[in-house]
Amino acid sequence: MHLTGLHLLLSYACTNQCDHCFVHSSPGAPGTMTFAQVRDAIHQAKELGTVTQVYLEGGEPFLFYPLMLMAVKEARAAGFEVGIVTNSYFATTVEDAIEWLKPLRELGVGSISFSDDAYHSDKNDEQPPARRAYLAAQQLGIEAGTICIEPPSIKTDEHHPGEPIIGGDVRFRGRAVDTLSDDSLPRRSWSTFCECPDEDWVDIGRLHLDAYGNLYPCQGVCVGNLNRQSLKEIAATYDPEQHPIIGPLLRGGPTELVRAYDLPLNGAFLDACHLCYRARQQLRERFPEALAPPQVYGIE
């Protein structure tokens, strides 16, 4: 593991309860970091010596504005580049958004990503919050970008002409498995998902940290817990082959995860994430530390 990025999930709480959310965020979701946890995480990232970037996300980090400002200040003092991901709920007008973002510019935030899609705004809104926030960031000279996740749709596979695949950038893990896995979408046999399309499990470059100490490269697949080991120890002792979930994924993707534990999942699935998530749901009680926290799997 050569960790260069640490993403702090300041909270699982959010103003929205989006259908595609990886971590089941909602207005009432528990799990918010304390000031002490944020300071400790940034200190440990500095001690590790390889981290260069800290991202603040959630949930919705702007719900905990004083905590977010402190995290930016601490991370910048430690020499890290800082980025933020937000749904821009606060941007009621461009003028208001400028006032919310101005302190972040003064503290040295490097970039902010605004969620700008149908999941985060009213489709009839000519200028949704993310657009207002983006304009405010531009006026302040803050590097800004947008994240757009379109609803699942059917399109033709460019590599296999005529074969339908799912477009729209939704990953079928978390809440999306229950809310967006429409029966009309094309599915493939479980035996065809022989690799993980998203993660480099050997050379992990970034980890997400939540309020419970869980460190995961992919939501719900933990490689350690900061409440039990230091970040330096976790990075030094990480062995992907010995991890009960990552090991099979390395050897043969979600298909191998099903085979390794003889799971009753020999049907058809939307994508690799869909099969992997269903397999992990069945393995949670067997490997609770490797598959945490429960709320990422929709368990209160």
CATH number at residue 2: 3.20.20.70
**How would you classify the pairing of strands 5-9 and 206-209?**
parallel
Q: Is 261 exposed, middle or buried (0-12, 13-18, 19+ CB in 10 A)?
A: middle
Asked if the model's pLDDT at residue 119 lies above 70, the reply is no
pLDDT of residue 19: 85
176-187: pLDDT as tens digits: 888 887 777 888
Within a domain: residue 270?
no
Reported as type and span, the H/E element at residue 165 is strand 164-167
Within a domain: residue 87?
yes
Residue 203 token pair: 């050379």
Greatest mean pLDDT among 121-125, 151-155, 175-179, 268-272 lies in 268-272
Asked if the model's pLDDT at residue 161 lies above 70, the reply is no
99-117: pLDDT as tens digits: 999 999 999 999 999 987 6
Rounded-to-integer distance, Cα 176 and Cα 20, Å: 4
Which residues make Cβ contacts (< 8 Å) with residue 129, sequence separation at least 6? 87, 88, 89, 90, 91, 92, 97, 114, 120, 121
Within a domain: residue 2?
yes
Mean pLDDT of 258-265: 97
- Whole-angstrom CA distances from 161 to 139, 158, 194 are 45, 6, 21
- Of all residues in the chain, what percent carry a pLDDT higher than 90? 75
Asked if the model's pLDDT at residue 164 lies above 60, the reply is no
pLDDT of residue 28: 92
pLDDT of residue 182: 78
Within a domain: residue 208?
no
Within a domain: residue 84?
yes
Mean pLDDT of 157-168: 54
Within a domain: residue 98?
yes
**Mean of per-residue pLDDT scores for the chain:** 90
Question: Of 56, 50, 58, nearest to 18 (Cα)?
Answer: 58
pLDDT of residue 51: 97
Rounded-to-integer distance, Cα 280 and Cα 124, Å: 38
Asked if the model's pLDDT at residue 152 lies above 60, the reply is no
Within a domain: residue 71?
yes
Q: Is 6 helix (H, G, I), strand (E, B) or coil?
A: strand
Rounded-to-integer distance, Cα 14 and Cα 61, Å: 8
- pLDDT top residue among 132 and 117: 132
154 pLDDT band (50/70/90 cuts)?
low
Reported as type and span, the H/E element at residue 5 is strand 5-9
Within a domain: residue 21?
yes
Least confident window among 58-62, 77-81, 123-127, 278-282: 123-127
Asked if the model's pLDDT at residue 166 lies above 70, the reply is no
CA 274 distance to own-chain centroid:
16
Q: Which domain holds residue 6?
A: 1-149
56 pLDDT band (50/70/90 cuts)?
very high
159 pLDDT band (50/70/90 cuts)?
low
Rounded-to-integer distance, Cα 274 and Cα 258, Å: 12
Mean pLDDT of 225-245: 97
35-51: pLDDT as tens digits: 999 999 999 999 999 99
CA 115, 120, 121, 123 torsion: positive or negative?
positive
Half-sphere exposure of 90 (CA within 13 A, CB side): 19
Put residue 154 in one of left, alpha, beta given phi > 0 → left and psi -120 to 50 → alpha. beta
Reported as type and span, the H/E element at residue 138 is helix 129-140
Amino acid at 165: I
- Whole-angstrom CA distances from 254 to 118, 237, 299 are 30, 24, 22
pLDDT of residue 224: 97
Rounded-to-integer distance, Cα 86 and Cα 47, Å: 28
Rounded-to-integer distance, Cα 286 and Cα 155, Å: 38
If one counts the domains in the chain, the total is 1
